[in-house]
Each structure stands twice: as structure tokens, then as C-alpha cells.
Structure 1
Amino acid sequence: MQEYNDKRVFTGGRRSMLVFNKVVSALAKAGISLMGSRILSVPGRKSGEWRSNPVNLLVVDGERYLVAPRGHVQWVRNLRVSTEGQLRIGRKVETFRAEELSDADKPDILRAYLKKWAWEVGAFFGDDVKPDSPTETLLHVAPGFPVFKVHPA
């Protein structure tokens, strides 16, 4: 059984996660979405060069969200500065504006995200955080998981 550390990264599975991300990216570039996957592109906050990562686009009650299951990673920091990015699936590119949610507004979104993708990202949330976790638990972990509402540009 693999263990995870406080940074929510598998100690023994980092290589397999990188391979998985490459596969998801290749599929999205080819126009095949794996349960909502997209390629997120955001200009770098220092260089201005576009940076890309695979992400899971979540739809809840007709609204779209990006959740960062690995926490305050580079794409999150870049999106906070630029507040705009692009989502790509195949040749279709959508420019969007991002609005970061407050921690108080995250529990329902985190719950929906875990319901859909716990099989992929659940380990980053820890053993105590599940789709059916109480709201208090989700509020407790909310500061560690940035969530952005996606608006058309």
C-alpha cells in the first residue's frame, strides 16, 4: 500500500502520476475528454509564457469550476495573478475569466469533485476526507484546495 505525506503527494507513485497526466493531456489534445478533463493554459506570473496542465472541469448546477486537488500549485498561483486562462479540448479553445471562491463557499464544490474524481485524486485529500464527509470537515480542509469558478471571457 502506498503512503502519502503531508504535502499530499504519493511517496511511491509520483512517476505513475506523471505518466497518467501525460496520457490525460494527450487524450485532451486529441479531443478526447476523460470525464471532463481539459488542458488548462495560463500565462506565467513572472515570465508571461503560457503554461499548460491537465485539469478536471467540474460542472455543478450549470456552473463550471476548477479545483486544485494538489493544493497551491504553480497553475493556481499563475491564475490568481492573471485571472484569465484557456481551456482546451482538441482544437476547441475557450478563453475564460476565473473567480476564486472563498473557503466558506467550497464545501459543496469539494464534495461534488470528490464524488466524481475521488478514484483519481482522493489520496491528495487524505483518508479522513470523502464525498460524504461532514461540511465541517470540508471547511477544515478548504484552505488547502483552491477552487475557481470559470466564467466566459
Structure 2
Amino acid sequence: MSSHVKKPGWFTVNVFNRAVAWLTGRGISIWGSRVLAVRGRKSGQWRTTPVNLLTVDGQQYLLAPRGHVQWTRNMRAAGGGELRLGSSVDVFTATEVADDDKVPLLRAYLKRWKAEVGVFFNGVGPDSPDEDLRRIAPDHPVFRITVTN
């Protein structure tokens, strides 16, 4: 497994993520944003972070543009969590997608959010060849979401 992580800077943590989480918490989705809540793998406490919910062929996915970050590690341990938008809460289970199956998901994610997250993909974009997307696949965890409530 890759150890790729792009830690967010001060502005992202203290301004951008808080603003998106605040809006999403009040029911205003920014391009598919949700607040992800997942139990900490060590503490058991709920941890939250804003995420972009990707839908491809009617199936929902969470993709980690910054790599193997805390929420991805917690998701592996917990096997699911909650996606929140305002007062709406979707409880879900999560299944990690194999690297070989990520190419169309990475392409779709980059088509939608490249302006926001493209810098985390080392020059690979939505129009890049499949080989380039396969090369970066291990660096970006993807989870298929199945809503259970």
C-alpha cells in the first residue's frame, strides 16, 4: 500500500474546510460536498471532514485526493460511517475499491473537481492516458458507499 499523503496547509484547515463544513452542515452542498463522519480507529470518537461525494453510474464513491489520510485509515477500520448534509444523515458501509478498478473513478473525479484538487494528482488530469491514472491509483484510496438507512 502506498504511503502517499499531501497534508493540508493552514488556510485549507482553518478557513476552506471549516467554511465548506459550515455550509454543508446547514444543508448547502458545494458541488456534491458532504460532511463525512467516521469513528476514529483508536479513540472510537466521531471524526468529521468535508468530502466530495462522487456518483458514477448510479453508485456513490468517496475518493481521497490527498492520499492515505486519517479519514481513509479510519474508514478501513470502521467499515463505514455517516454522510451528512444539513439535518440529513446517510449511514453507510464502505468497500475499498481495488487499484485496477480506479481508472474510470479517478477520471470522473478529476473531470468534476480538478480545479479544486488537481494539484494533488502530480500532473495527471481527466484527459490523461489510462496508464497515468493507473500509475497514481495506489496513492488515492477510493471507497464504494452503500447507504444502509
Q: 1:140 matched to which residue of 2?
A: 135
Structure 1 residues 25, 110: CA separation in 2 closer, same or farther (over 3 Å shift)? same
Q: Residue type of the partner of 2:86?
A: G
Query: Percent identity among equivalent residues?
Result: 53
Structure 2: distance between partners of 1:139 and 1:16: 31
Q: 1:50 matched to which residue of 2?
A: 46
Structure 1 residues 105, 68: CA separation in 2 closer, same or farther (over 3 Å shift)? same
Q: Residue type of the partner of 1:148?
A: F
**2:61–2:145 CA contact under 8 A, matched in 1:** yes
Structure 1 residues 8, 47: CA separation in 2 closer, same or farther (over 3 Å shift)? closer
**2:107–2:127 CA contact under 8 A, matched in 1:** yes
Q: 1:103 matched to which residue of 2?
A: 99
- Number of aligned residues: 144
Query: TM-score, normalised on structure 2?
Result: 0.93
Q: Residue type of the partner of 1:108?
A: P
Structure 2: distance between partners of 1:55 and 1:76: 11
Q: 2:119 matched to which residue of 1?
A: 123
Q: 2:110 matched to which residue of 1?
A: 114
Q: Residue type of the partner of 1:134?
A: P
Larger deviation, residues 15-24 vs 112-121:
15-24
Structure 2: distance between partners of 1:144 and 1:98: 18
- Verify: 1:83 aligned to 2:97, yes or no: no
Structure 1 residues 47, 112: CA separation in 2 closer, same or farther (over 3 Å shift)? same
Structure 1: runs of 5+ lacking an equivalent? 1-5
Q: 1:3 matched to which residue of 2?
A: none
Superposed CA offset, 1:79-128 (max 9, x none): 0011010000000001000010000000000000000001111001122x
**2:99–2:138 CA contact under 8 A, matched in 1:** yes
Structure 2: distance between partners of 1:47 and 1:151: 24
CA-CA distance at 1:8 after TM superposition: 3.8
Structure 2: runs of 5+ lacking an equivalent? none
Structure 1: distance between partners of 2:111 and 2:147: 25
Query: TM-score, normalised on structure 1?
Result: 0.91
* Local SS of the residue matching 2:42: coil
**2:5–2:68 CA contact under 8 A, matched in 1:** no
Note the aligned Cα RMSD (angstroms). 1.2
Structure 2: distance between partners of 1:61 and 1:104: 18
